[in-house]
Amino acid sequence: MSLTQGTGPLGGSPAGANYTIQAPAHRILFQPDPRRLRAFVGDTLVLDTTGAHLLYETGIAPVCYVPLQDIDPALLERTATTTHCPFKGDASYWSLRVGDELRADAVWGYEKPLPEASWLGGFGALYFDRVDRWLVEDEEVAGGRLRDPYHRVDVHVSSRPVTVTAGGEVVARSQRPTLVFETSVPVRVYIPRGAVEAGHLRPSDKTTSDPYMGDAIWWHVHAGGETFADAAHSYELPRAEAMKVAGLVCFSGTGMKNDLGS
């Protein structure tokens, strides 16, 4: 269950419960994150903090805010850019200048936040993709974003039979699929590559990285006289919590139908 999405307690469609939350429709939670975070442009350290907070808002993925003093002030240049949020106030922006390189409007912060978000004063957020590298403690961040402590992945081997079809043709069958239950994501079905009918999978050049699962390779699926581009993926060496899907295939793309038994 996500904290701020779907049926989560701060989400837009809370689950059945014997209590109510007397709060605005749009809710905000500002929670300390004790991890040491560092960010680099090239080899230059631009951020080093142990004072980060995660800002949770209804229906929005969490955003990391850090004390502005922990971003190297010698690298910050105020810009004329401003934006307005009805829940937080007016945001100011700063660019990062590292040598001859300028990362425009890389940092934003609410210097005079609305009273109901007063705790944002003195904090700023750094766009994740405006720097070259992030570290959590001494480990490089993968997957394009920081991991949410409230987001989890559970992997379970199942005896529920699954049949995968595409283009009106059976692509794969398995009596022992592996099911991935991930926060705010529909259940995903992974099956052994040996359960895929011969000739249906062909390698793709596409690769992706996920902060919770790991680095994926992708496959084209050929079935029913059609080619479904990048319609399946697999994790050859997933993160530890998802290791049970190593080498298995998930048919997740357009045109794929996974019939999972009960």
Average pLDDT for the chain:
92
What 3-state DSSP class applies to 233? strand
More confident residue, 116 or 23: 116
Q: Report yes or no: 115 and 97 within 8 Å, Cβ to Cβ.
A: no
Which of the listed residues 140, 169, 195 is the one where a domain comes to its end? 140
Are 175 and 239 contained in the same domain?
Answer: yes
Quote the CA–CA distance of 256 and 251 in Å, as a whole number.
Answer: 6
Report the domain count for the chain. 2
pTM of the model: 0.83
Does residue 54 lie in a domain region?
A: yes
Are 82 and 159 contained in the same domain?
Answer: no
Are 101 and 159 contained in the same domain?
Answer: no
Confidence of residue 184 (pLDDT cuts 50, 70, 90): confident
Helix then strand then coil, in percent of the chain rounded to 5, is 10, 50, 40
Whether 32 has a pLDDT exceeding 90, the answer reads: yes
pLDDT score recorded for residue 175: 96
Does residue 21 lie in a domain region?
A: no
pLDDT single digits (tens) 228-259: 999 999 999 999 999 999 999 999 999 999 99
b or e along 234-251 (b: 16 or more beta carbons within 10 Å of the residue's beta carbon)?
A: bbeebbeebeebeebbbb
Does residue 188 lie in a domain region?
A: yes
Which CATH number belongs to the domain containing residue 213 in this structure?
2.170.150.40
Which of the listed residues 140, 172, 191 is the one where a domain comes to its end? 140
pLDDT single digits (tens) 113-169: 999 999 999 999 999 999 999 999 999 998 778 999 989 999 999 999 999 999 999
pLDDT score recorded for residue 135: 97
More confident residue, 215 or 58: 215
Mean pLDDT of 190-214: 94
pLDDT score recorded for residue 26: 84
Residue 19, Cβ neighbours under 10 Å: how many? 7
pLDDT score recorded for residue 262: 81
Instruction: Provide the H-helix boundaries in 42-103.
Output: none
Mean pLDDT of 5-26: 68
Whether 11 has a pLDDT exceeding 70, the answer reads: no
Are 40 and 125 contained in the same domain?
Answer: yes
Tokens linked to 190: 């992974």
